[in-house]
Amino acid sequence: MKKIFILFLFSFNVYGQDDLYYPDKVWEEKSPESLNIDSKKLNEAIQFAIDNENKVEKDLRIAITKSFGHEPDFRIKGPTKKRGNPNGLIIKNGFIIGKWGNTKRVDMTFSVTKSYLSTTAAIAFDKQLISLDEKLVNYVWDGKFDDSHNNQITWHHLLNQSSQWSGNLFGTYDWADRPPRDLTLEEIKKQSLLPPGKDYKYNDVRVNLLSYSLLNVFRVPLPKVLKKYIMDPIGASNTWRWYGYDESMQIIDGVEVQSVSGGGHFGGGMFISSEDHARFGLLFLRDGIWGDERLISSGWIKKMRLPSENNSSYGYMWWLNRGQRKWDGLPENIYYGSGFGGNYVVVVPDHDLVIVARWIDSSKIGELIKKVIESHK
């Protein structure tokens, strides 16, 4: 009897996975009503996204400088691009049930890039190239992790932004990224650091250090790694790009390679369309499986979604709907990539939804998600 029961469960799981829809190059659209969605309410949600455009300037060089130009010695080091108009998609059960604007347009996505960088770490983890609790000094041998403070940093610390790394990377010191505005430059430089793992600090210099460290592990450009193991298998277009800076060129095994950035704080990062974002989000909604192939281990996704020790709203470079950033009235198991200017890739497991929104007022994204959920009959 026990053997029969196990076989039954196995058959059920296989059938359930085979029954799921995954888009080919052409993504199938379905009417909301065919999936028990109120089309009037869904259209109201879409109009809400259009009406609540982010006020960030279309010229993103101006927008970046206005937001971060107060930082010590700040300068834009990577490429930028003028942004488009609001656009996005709503994916239900894998099908497109709603979209607005030009969803094929390639735009900067700022810190949503961090979720792609985290996924590159997932590839290294699943291939047993890294161990999350192992210290970086065992992987990167150029002095960046040699002193008594930095040599305690692990992959886990870098992934949840608790590394407290101290140093200069590609011409920018760690303390120059988002310093308190009420301190003088000398006071900023003298700020004390807690031991690695003891404090959360959102810091793009340290995120770029994660990218640099993964480059030292893979020893090929990270965009190539992401393309081979994630973007090509999920059917993403060839229009996306992942940039670093002129200063981030490195010699790896005798070849010049760019260490890409984990966001657009200094320019660079991921430039991508909403449709490619939606495929990426659907991969995570499906627990790392695409069709009949597992691309990311279930174990990684569980770790990625665990609240950090020092910030319950943050996992491994994905935001979690809990803690100080919780959207009231929405399920705690929602998680999302978020970027400057109102860029979002939102995964809503309870309703089998992926919502991509570009250039939306960031204070309105929770309300948009609520409106989409309320459109369910």
Mean pLDDT, the chain cut into blocks of 10 residues (377 residues total): 35 52 97 97 98 98 97 97 98 98 98 98 98 98 97 98 98 96 93 96 98 98 98 98 97 97 98 98 98 98 98 98 96 98 98 98 98 97
pLDDT tens per residue, range 135-188: 999 999 999 999 999 999 999 999 999 999 999 999 999 999 999 999 999 999
* 3-class secondary structure, 215: helix
* H-type alpha helices, 252-293: 274-285
Model pLDDT, residue 113: 98
Question: Do residues 327 and 21 touch, judged by C-beta distance below 8 A?
Answer: no
Whether the Cβ atoms of residue 37 and residue 44 lie closer than 8 Å to each other: no
pLDDT of residue 10: 34
| Number of residues that make up the chain | 377
Q: How far is CA 16 from CA 30, 121, 298, 334, in A?
A: 20, 29, 16, 22
- Dist CA 317 CA 207 (whole Å): 9
pLDDT of 17: 58
Contact 354, 91 (CB under 8 A): yes
Task: Output the six-digit token pair for 31.
Answer: 């009417």
What is the model's pLDDT at position 21? 97
Token reading at 248: 């981030």
Give the helix/strand (H/E) hosting 68.
helix 60-68
3-state secondary structure of 260: strand
Supply φ then ψ for residue 332, to 5 degrees: -70, -20
Q: Which of 293, 237, 273 is nearest to 102 (CA)?
A: 273
pTM of the predicted model as reported, rounded to 2 decimal places: 0.94
Q: What is the largest CA-CA distance in the chain?
A: 73
216 alpha carbon, distance to own chain's centre: 21
Q: Are 373 and 298 in contact (CB under 8 A)?
A: no
pLDDT of residue 19: 86
Domain 24-374: homologous superfamily in CATH: DD-peptidase/beta-lactamase superfamily (3.40.710.10)
Cβ contact 369:281 at 8 Å: no
CB 346 within 8 A of CB 115: no
Q: Could you give the dihedral angle defined by the CA atoms of residues 296, 302, 303 and 309, in that order, rounded to the nearest 10 degrees?
A: 150
The Cα 96–Cα 102 span in angstroms is 14
Cα–Cα distance, 57 to 63 (Å, whole number): 5
Tell me the per-residue pLDDT of 190-203, one tens digit each, with 9 for 90 and over.
Answer: 999 999 999 999 99
Q: How many helices (H) and strands (E) does the chain have?
A: 11, 14
Angle at 322 between CA 318 and CA 328, to 5 degrees: 120
Q: Report the distance separating Cα 244 and Cα 127, nearest Å.
A: 25
Q: Are 341 and 54 spatial neighbours (Cβ–Cβ below 8 Å)?
A: yes
C-alpha span between 377 and 374 (Å, rounded):
8
